[in-house]
Amino acid sequence: MALKTISPVVLYASDRALERGFDRLKNEALGWVFEGYPVGDYYEAALPGRDAFCMRDVSHQCMGAQVLGLGTHNFNMLSKFAQAISESRDYCSFWEIDRFGRPCPVDYDSDGDFWYNLPANFDVLDAIYRMYRWTGDERYLTDPAFERFCALTMEQYIRRWDRDGDGIPDRVVAEGRRGIASYDEGDESVGGLKAGSDLVCAQIRAYYSASEMCRITGRHECARRYAKRGKALEEALRKDWYDPERGLAFGLGLDGRMRFLPRDPWQEKDFLYCGLAVYPEAAPILDGLEARMDDAIIEL
């Protein structure tokens, strides 16, 4: 189906090969953009072949999509996630939504049995705020679906999934795929983690983003409350989850012990994302990412 959206972005450089490479990658990206389907305008942001978009990938790709001129698509996709939050799913949304507007069948059987990575609500909330900052579109702040999603995420969602009272959502193995502790989907995360450090970093970022959204819309008490909670969680992360020699912990195990792995820049990028790593802590993370850039994936 032909796209009605024309991407406005053009790269001019003294190196013609660089220009050609940019044009090739731009056209390749636009090949994953779809319009005129029941779900509305969207770009594929899931595993190939699912004809779908997932919460993590949209949150991590929306700024690049905005540069490509896909603002309508971003608003539509983030709206769909916001609209889908439900008490019957313990304030989760749909992890993936397909082109027909349904929860992606491979991830969803019922409201009691579905795939869900717990950082997702926080990531989408932060994406909503970033899209407001990028575009100035006040609908990201005032649309009822976004307002409801953000309020439920920062209150009911956290209370529902925080089983031990430490303020952090946590995983219970008996619940299976419904509430995975991290975006990491390896055996250690799915079977052995109570909470991943990426979950905590995303929650901190969401607190600060929610605080700013409240401040901008004149809800100053709400803004102060979320800023205070974010600061408290940030201090806990620094104290309990970070070691100057070992770096950022992989996560908190179900046995109550921190899991530290050999220093890995892909793991520690979350420390950068939530704004905690500044010089000198940021230096080894950035050096490690640069050294391994050939291994990078789009979700970075």
Q: Which of 240, 237, 298 is nearest to 57 (CA)?
A: 298
Could you write out the DSSP letters of every residue in 101-169?
SSBPTTTEEETTEE-EETTHHHHHHHHHHHHHHHH--THHHH-HHHHHHHHHIIIIIHHHH--SSSSS-
What is residue 59's three-state secondary structure? helix
Distance CA 246, CA 262 (A): 7
Give yes or no: residues 166 and 292 share one domain: yes
Q: How many domains does the chain have?
A: 2
Residues 106 and 219 in one domain: no
45 and 168, same structural domain? Answer: no
* Same domain? 168 vs 89: no
Q: How far is CA 22 from the centre of its chain?
A: 26
CATH number at residue 232: 1.50.10.10
Per-residue pLDDT of the chain (300 residues; tens, 9 = 90+): 557 778 889 999 999 999 999 999 999 999 999 999 999 999 999 998 899 999 999 999 999 999 999 999 999 999 999 999 999 999 999 999 999 999 999 999 999 999 999 999 999 999 999 999 999 999 999 999 999 999 999 999 999 999 999 999 999 888 889 999 999 887 665 668 899 999 999 999 999 999 999 999 999 999 999 999 999 999 999 899 888 788 788 899 999 999 887 766 666 778 787 777 766 777 888 888 888 777 766 554
Q: Does a structural domain hold residue 131?
A: no
Q: What are the b/e assignments for 131-157, b being 16+ CB within 10 Å?
A: bbeeeeeeebbebebbeebbebbbeeb
Structure tokens given for 84: 């889908």
Question: Which of 222-258 are b and which e, b meaning 16 or more Cβ less than 10 Å from the residue's Cβ?
Answer: bbebbbebbeebbeebeeebbeeeebbbbbbbbeeee
82 belongs to a structural domain:
yes
Domain annotation covers residue 108: yes
**What are the residues whose beta carbons fall under 8 Å from the beta carbon of 133, sequence distance 6 or more?**
none
Q: At 251, phi and psi to the nearest 5?
A: 170, 180
Domain boundary residue, one of 113, 146, 179: 113
What are the structure tokens assigned to 201, written together? Answer: 């970093």
Residue 153 lies in a domain: no
State the residue range of the domain holding 96: 1-113
- Together in a domain, 103 and 223: no
**pTM for the predicted model, two decimal places:** 0.93
Clarify whether residues 292 and 231 are in a common domain: yes
Asked, for residue 44, whether it belongs to a domain, the answer is yes
| 73 within a domain of the structure (yes/no) | yes
Last-in-domain residue among 79, 95, 113: 113
Bridge partners (DSSP) of residue 252 are: 195, 258
Residues 190 and 294 in one domain: yes
